[in-house]
Structure 1
Amino acid sequence: MALSDIALCARALVMIGAAPIVSFEDDTAEAEVAGMLYPAIRDGMLAAYPWRFAARGAWLARRESEEVLGAGEGMFVLPGDFIRLLSLETEGGAVAEFELVQGAVRCAADRAYLRYVGRMADGAFPAFFDLALITRLAAEFCVPLTESTSRAEYLFKRAEDQFRSARLADAQQSTPRAIGDFTLIGARG
């Protein structure tokens, strides 16, 4: 079941004993706290792990830079939904050295292919991520709304457990990469 941003926040609020919201525009402390914290917490959780469900890839557009670049270097514009870089490649393989600079990536390449974690539409998260996000939201909402630090500490521990479970579930969504040509394995004979 896909949950919207409001539904995720409402469930988190119920976990701490607060009234659920129906909109971020509600005239309540719960709506104000949820509206302020939700986007940053969601993006922070997406950035915290290389989630397979949020992984994307794209050839990057070259950006004309006013900055002086070295020979063969290029500046490439990051996608608007970019959250975390997973890898940067060219037709010839992985780019060894690169730097993220103000919404762009600088590297020694004519073209660049970016694998990244991207921001997803609300309601597109898998159930295991929803549960981890709800628990984390509850932990973050707890102190501003209930002023209970002991409950917040408990919820943060639960959130860490849920995050660990979500990472495990995500890791099981595809076949692990095999170690190909590794000299120590070859030396065993």
Structure 2
Amino acid sequence: MALTAIGLCSRALLKIGATPLTSFDEGTAEAEVAAALYAPTRDALLSARAWSFATAQAALPRLATEPVADYAHAFQLPADFLRALSAGAASRGRGLDYRISGRALHAASSSVVLTYVYRPAEEDFPAFFDQALIARLAAEFCIPLTENSSRADGLHQLAEAEFRRARLIDAQQDVQPGFEDFSLIEARGS
């Protein structure tokens, strides 16, 4: 079952023995804590790894203003951008020298294809990521709502275990890249 932001927060609140939410605006302590901590916790967990379900590629639009130094062109980052993984020119998603500066990518190339981690809709999160996020939210919600630091420590350990489990599951969904242009392998063949 796909969960919404409210559903994810409610499950985390249940883990710490708090009342689940119906809305971020309901005026309870649980709603205030969830509203304040949900988005930064979600984005931090999404940014922590190149999740297969949250990785995309986009041809970036070039900006009219040029960088002051080092690179010839500036490009607008996507609105859902969280973290850059690689950049390439033309139809290649890697191999380009670049720098992220503010909300722009600077590069010498006149066109850029960016491979990046983005923020998908909560309903598109796979179950293994839901569980990791719920565990992390429970750990984050614990001290503001229960003031129990030893319980929060235990929840943080559980959250780390869930994160490792989610990473393992996600890694099994992808073929690992081989070596390209590696001089030792090339020397061995001659």
Q: Same fold (TM over 0.5)?
A: yes
Other structure's SS at 2:52 match: coil
Other structure's SS at 1:63 match: coil
Asked whether the equivalents of residues 67 and 106 of structure 2 are also in contact (C-alpha less than 8 Å), the reply is no
Distance 1:137 1:64 in 2: 41
Q: Give the TM-score, by structure 1 length.
A: 0.92
Other structure's SS at 2:122 match: coil
Distance 1:80 1:87 in 2: 17
Alpha-carbon distance, 1:176 to partner: 1.7
Q: Which runs of 4+ in 1 moved over 4 A?
A: none
Other structure's SS at 1:34 match: helix
Q: Select the structure with the greater relative contact order (CA < 8 A; seq sep ≥ 6).
A: 1
Other structure's SS at 1:168 match: helix
Alpha-carbon distance, 1:179 to partner: 2.8
Change in 2 beyond 3 A, CA 1:181/1:67:
closer
Give the share of equivalent positions with the same residue, in percent: 48
Structure 2 counterpart of 1:109? 109
Alpha-carbon RMSD: 1.9
Pairing 1:1-189 to 2, within 5 Å after superposition: 1-65=1-65, 67-69=67-69, 73-91=72-90, 94-180=94-180, 182-185=182-185, 187=188
Asked whether the equivalents of residues 99 and 106 of structure 1 are also in contact (C-alpha less than 8 Å), the reply is yes
Asked whether the equivalents of residues 86 and 96 of structure 2 are also in contact (C-alpha less than 8 Å), the reply is no
Distance 2:18 2:63 in 1: 47
Alpha-carbon distance, 1:68 to partner: 3.2
Alpha-carbon distance, 1:64 to partner: 1.3
Asked whether the equivalents of residues 82 and 119 of structure 2 are also in contact (C-alpha less than 8 Å), the reply is yes
Q: Give the TM-score, by structure 2 length.
A: 0.92
Asked whether the equivalents of residues 89 and 96 of structure 2 are also in contact (C-alpha less than 8 Å), the reply is no
